[in-house]
Amino acid sequence: MANYSVRNQVAIISLCSPPVNALSSDVRRGILDSLKKAEQDVKVAAIVICGEGRTFCVGADITEFKSEFKTFPNLFELVDILESSPKPIVAAIHGHAFGGGLEVALACHYRVALSSAKLALPEVKLGILPGAGGTQRLPRLIGIDSSMQWIAFGDEYSAQIAANIGIIDRIFPSNADILESAVQYAQSIIGKSLINRRVSKLPVKDASKVSHIMEKYKQIVGKKSRGAIAPMVCLEAIKHAALLPYVEGMKKERMGIEALMGSDQSKSLIYMFFAERQVRNWTIPGTGINSKNTKPIKVEKVAVIGLGTMGRGIVLSLLKAGIKHVSVMELNKTARENGLLFIKNILEGYAARGTISETQKRSMVDALKPVSNFEMLKDTDLVIEAVFESMSIKKDIFAKLGQVCKPSAVLATNTSALDVDEIAMVTPKPKQVVGMHFFAPAHVMKLLENVRGSKSSPQVIATAMNMGQRMGKVTVLVGNCHGFVGNRMFRHYTVETDFMLEEGAYPEQVDTVLKKFGFAMGRYQVGDLSGNDIGYRMRTKFEMTNKQQPPGAPERERHGVRYCPLADFLVESGRLGYKSDGKGWFRYLGKNRELTVDNEVTSMIDSYRRRNKIVPRKINGEEIIERALYPLINEGFKILEEGIASNPMEIDLILVHGYAWPRHTGGPMFYAHLIGLPKILRVIERHWNNAGLREPHWEPSKMLVRLVKNHGNPDIMSWTTLERETVRSAL
């Protein structure tokens, strides 16, 4: 709803829909009714629209998208009504003016804001476009170029930046009373002509350059938002602002939003939006323990052990989260010095770019406390171990931590696959131990996969979850198993793509198909970037690599299971990827490290096929997608079945934020839901029937089988409940 009052000739319409004043049908109706009152009241000479509570307005109510066009006034009707008001309207912005909220502001005749306010048209991130005149009004205020930048990427901007380019007319200090300031501002413009204040009537300044600007953004969008439809539709709509009169441009905008709203990509992105919020409410399956009934312990002092790539990133994440005491322990002198230098340089960079102030930078540097022995960690609240991935080294460290740390200290390991329970058992209090699996570089990557050991106490889990949220991470709680959720699922992707190389595909073909699907890089380029030796080291642990096999051992089999040694050959011939002189699955040439196909790799694959009498066959894009992605989805169902993840959203967040799975498909589980579970199962069963135990990753998940058998293609939100009911009724 919207509240209405009048103060000294100024009518105040305040949006009131906690927590973020989304423009639900009630709020839109409230604005319209209040506007009518203000227009009819002869004592009112100007109008202020503001938001109650913490924010101005975050835009359309996403939960009402299905009925957005049905109830009067919808948003695009409302903005035109506002702009045509004969009385001047001032938008008073604090907090956020996002999406439809900014579009309402653009329809007002003046916009004032607190310096702390943030503005954005982020609709593209929901797979739609600003459908309430945003694509037509913004170019008339700030030009085509800036509008494309704002709308096609949906990023937020400070009120000051918005003022610099002409969106905001007056900025007030962040501690000012926004309503009071806006009312005074409104009084100052009473009686002024509105002729140049109706944005839809203004010309687009750089309209003549539209084709050139459009080309520039098409290129950027093509690279940055691979496979996403909405950014291109946004660009098209903005182009129409330059080429058509406002009314015609609005028709095009409307066609754009009608095409996008309800599309699979938009559904996926909205699902992601809610998943990122839902995941804060963690739960331990089957126990009744959850974020609502468990409190974290207070964490003031944190320690990080190990200053390698992971440790450095974790320290930076802690500093950014405002932790005022971060002990860092690295016994290797060179690694310690390099690590500290790296951290300080990054902080310098943040300060130089204005991401943090000089004062903040100084206090972050002051918070760093290098320590040289375990004794010095005795009053630390949380220790995060980030040393080399070796069980014996980690056990050594945890045994020492168990002796010196206070009993309430939370002891976390940043392992990416090792058994958290085994590590915990060397301490006197295994319930204090938890996994905190960061992703490299930890100060950049948004994902934190927290691992609950079988003994981890609820309070310890709550502390790790809370710390992740303080660091601004998408923090997902998972159970303890080899590789946890992400690495466990992703392994099948690499295994199966390598099988396709054996059978007839080439790395460039596989990567092209995966990039078309939406991955920023294909499986083989990723291998080259992160280093093909990482997987090799892992396979070495299980004695699987080519070199470890005795003479005469079958080349394509390990422990009775199908195996492809091509990745081993690559590493054993020194092709680790970017870092080995630009040689990996591909060759990276020149200053820009241009990716090129390398005949040496092609020959290696060809001769391997000949040696093993494999007759290559044509593998099409559909097969590549199914075989690369469906085993991973199958594993996702096994993870749900085992209670390693509590719901599909958690799995999707992990794959999207940690493994660059394209966000606009909603993650593997949502993608499966869009494709339809019966089809997914059919393909999995076909492979399983052909390969059997030689390819165990194709063994269908029992949960998937049960869901399809009992419910066909149930809604993703009901999967875990239906599974629980089925299992319970079978007992």
Ligand X SMILES: CC/C=C\CC(=O)SCCNC(=O)CCNC(=O)[C@H](O)C(C)(C)COP(=O)(O)OP(=O)(O)OC[C@H]1O[C@@H](n2cnc3c(N)ncnc32)[C@H](O)[C@@H]1OP(=O)(O)O
Task: Tell me: does residue 51 bind ligand X (CB under 6 A).
Answer: no
Question: Smallest distance from the beta carbon of 71 to ligand X, in angstroms?
Answer: 12
For ligand X, which stretch binds (CB under 6 A), given 92-100, 391-399, 565-573, 625-633? 92-100
> Which one is catalytic: 39, 68, 77, 123?
123
Helices within 566-676 (DSSP H only) = 566-572, 599-611, 621-641, 648-659, 668-675
Task: Let me know if 123 is a catalytic residue.
Answer: yes
Question: Smallest distance from the beta carbon of 28 to ligand X, in angstroms?
Answer: 10
Please, which residues bridge with residue 447 across strands? 474
All residues at 6 or more sequence positions from 474 whose CB lies less than 8 Å from its CB, including other chains: 276, 279, 446, 447, 448, 653, 657
312, exposed or middle or buried, with CB in 10 Å at 0-12, 13-18, 19+?
buried
Pick the binder of ligand X from 2, 15, 20, 476 (CB under 6 A).
20
Return the residues of window 249-278 that contact ligand X according to CB under 6 A: 257, 277
Tokens of 221: 């969008």
Provide the sign of the torsion angle of the four alpha carbons 144, 149, 151, 156, taken in this order. negative
Pick the binder of ligand X from 30, 51, 88, 100 (CB under 6 A).
100
Task: Tell me: does residue 58 bind ligand X (CB under 6 A).
Answer: yes
All residues at 6 or more sequence positions from 502 whose CB lies less than 8 Å from its CB, including other chains: 556, 564, 566, 608, 609, 612, 614
Pick the binder of ligand X from 75, 124, 199, 210 (CB under 6 A).
75
Pairing of strands 157-158, 170-172: unpaired
What Å distances lie between residue 281 and 81, 632, 643, 647, CA to CA?
40, 25, 16, 12
What Å distances lie between residue 691 and 562, 687, 694, 699, CA to CA?
9, 6, 6, 9
Pick the binder of ligand X from 132, 151, 624, 629 (CB under 6 A).
132
For ligand X, which stretch binds (CB under 6 A), given 56-64, 186-194, 330-338, 409-417? 56-64
Task: Let me know if 103 is a catalytic residue.
Answer: yes
Task: Tell me: does residue 19 bind ligand X (CB under 6 A).
Answer: yes
Question: Smallest distance from the beta carbon of 278 to ligand X, in angstroms?
Answer: 7
Task: Tell me: does residue 59 bind ligand X (CB under 6 A).
Answer: yes
All residues at 6 or more sequence positions from 699 whose CB lies less than 8 Å from its CB, including other chains: 634, 688, 693
What Å distances lie between residue 631 and 245, 251, 634, 635, CA to CA?
51, 44, 5, 6
All residues at 6 or more sequence positions from 326 whose CB lies less than 8 Å from its CB, including other chains: 302, 303, 304, 315, 318, 319, 367, 368, 369
Pick the binder of ligand X from 22, 44, 117, 526 (CB under 6 A).
22
Task: Tell me: does residue 62 bind ligand X (CB under 6 A).
Answer: yes
Provide the sign of the torsion angle of the four alpha carbons 642, 645, 646, 650, taken in this order. negative
For residues 66 and 617, which CB has a smaller minimum distance to ligand X in the complex?
A: 66
CA 206 to chain centre: 34
For ligand X, which stretch binds (CB under 6 A), given 18-26, 434-442, 602-610, 711-719? 18-26
Task: Tell me: does residue 60 bind ligand X (CB under 6 A).
Answer: yes
Pick the binder of ligand X from 56, 98, 282, 517 (CB under 6 A).
98
Question: Smallest distance from the beta carbon of 477 to ligand X, in angstroms?
Answer: 17
Task: Tell me: does residue 498 bind ligand X (CB under 6 A).
Answer: no
Task: Tell me: does residue 63 bind ligand X (CB under 6 A).
Answer: yes
The answer to whether residues 13 and 4 touch, using CB atoms and an 8 Å cutoff, is yes
Question: Smallest distance from the beta carbon of 211 to ligand X, in angstroms?
Answer: 27
Task: Tell me: does residue 68 bind ligand X (CB under 6 A).
Answer: yes
Pick the binder of ligand X from 30, 51, 88, 99 (CB under 6 A).
99
297, exposed or middle or buried, with CB in 10 Å at 0-12, 13-18, 19+?
middle
The H or E element containing residue 727 is helix 719-730
Tokens of 571: 């590493």
> What is the C-alpha to C-alpha distance for residues 430 and 436, in angstroms, rounded to an integer?
15
Which residue of this chain has its Cβ atom nearest to ligand X in the complex?
99
Number of residues that bind ligand X (CB under 6 A): 23
Question: Smallest distance from the beta carbon of 103 to ligand X, in angstroms?
Answer: 6
Question: Smallest distance from the beta carbon of 647 to ligand X, in angstroms?
Answer: 15
For residues 261 and 434, which CB has a smaller minimum distance to ligand X in the complex?
A: 261
Task: Tell me: does residue 534 bind ligand X (CB under 6 A).
Answer: no
Q: Which residues here bind ligand X, judged by CB under 6 A?
A: 19-20, 22, 58-63, 68, 75, 96, 98-100, 122-123, 126, 130-132, 257, 277
Instruction: Tell me the catalytic residues.
Output: 103, 123
